[in-house]
């Protein structure tokens, strides 16, 4: 082990938004083969994710670390922490917020808050991580949304932010081709998470209709494990029976 606690022989994955929902499922999925750095704002939940990973490793060397950071407020701190890693093979951006606001309802603070978390924070974190990702010829995965290609009525800011995030991924992929860094957008449809529960009245919520977070995690695994001669650039993950055609 290095001074950072990372094995020289085990790839390293950093997952944001790892304290719940898709981020937590992705962290747990990747822990079977990677040392996982779980990043989030809730220290208690992060600790629970790390404990679950390390207690269910079945002797396969599963290990994880919890980094409590606010991706907007602590950009320089997390950048310095990333720079101190010995290696980084995969970076998964799962953190997002999605308060519903129409153009008529949204004020500048609403726009700034969602773009700060959903677009600017992942772009800045990626900038900090690029030297290690280039060295590893690693993979960046942006968790997008069906909203990243089609409009969602009443949700102008979130829709715009996911369109923007996809644009960031597409430009990054071109710019990083000389360094062989792979860049993917994995875009789930409606997924059974706290974020979705907050957006749908409880009386109308039917979890069996929505994608399981573990299914999204399996897709991220598929993207990261792709053969070395290819990259999977845009992966849409849709419910078996469509709930909303976005």
Q: What residues contact residue 29 under an 8 Å CB cut-off, 6+ apart?
A: 214, 217, 218, 220, 221
CB 122 within 8 A of CB 141: no
Catalytic annotation, pick one of 67, 69, 158, 210: 158
DSSP assignment of 82-108, as one string? Answer: HHT-S---EEEE---------TTT--H
CA atoms within 13 A on the CB side of 179: 19
The number of residues in the chain equals 246
CA dihedral 24, 27, 28, 33 (to 10 degrees): 170
Q: Read off the DSSP letter of residue 117.
A: I
Q: Read off the DSSP letter of residue 150.
A: S
* Residue 158 bears catalytic tag: yes
CA distance readout (Å), 246 to 81, 100, 193, 222, 242? 37, 16, 18, 23, 9
Q: How far apart are CA 46 and CA 242, in angstroms?
A: 32
51 phi, psi to nearest 5 deg:
-60, -40
Q: How far apart are CA 121 and CA 93, in angstroms?
A: 9
Q: How far apart are CA 217 and CA 92, in angstroms?
A: 10
Catalytic residues: 158
């Amino acid at each position: 082990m290095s001074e950072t606690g990372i094995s020289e022989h085990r790839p390293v994955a950093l997952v944001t938004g790892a304290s719940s929902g898709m981020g937590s499922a992705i962290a747990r999925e990747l822990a079977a083969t990677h040392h996982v750095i779980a990043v989030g704002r809730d220290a208690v939940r992060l600790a629970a994710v790390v404990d679950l990973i390390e207690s269910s490793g079945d002797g396969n060397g599963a290990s994880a670390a919890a980094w409590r950071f606010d991706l907007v407020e602590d950009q320089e701190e997390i950048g310095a922490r990333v720079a101190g890693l010995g290696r980084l093979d995969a970076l998964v951006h799962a953190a997002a917020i999605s308060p519903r606001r129409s153009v008529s309802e949204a004020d500048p603070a609403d726009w700034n808050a969602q773009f700060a978390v959903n677009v600017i924070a992942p772009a800045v974190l990626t900038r900090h991580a690029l030297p290690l990702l280039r060295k590893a010829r690693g993979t960046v995965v942006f968790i997008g949304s069906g909203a990243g290609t089609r409009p969602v009525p009443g949700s102008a800011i979130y829709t715009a932010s996911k369109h923007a995030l996809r644009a960031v991924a597409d430009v990054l992929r071109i710019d990083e081709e000389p360094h062989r860094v792979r860049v993917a957008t994995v875009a789930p449809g409606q997924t059974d998470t706290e974020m979705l529960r907050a957006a749908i009245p409880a009386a109308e919520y039917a979890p069996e209709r929505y994608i399981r977070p573990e299914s999204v995690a399996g897709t991220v695994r598929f993207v990261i494990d792709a053969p070395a001669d290819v990259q999977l650039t845009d992966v849409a993950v849709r419910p078996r029976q469509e709930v909303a055609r976005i």
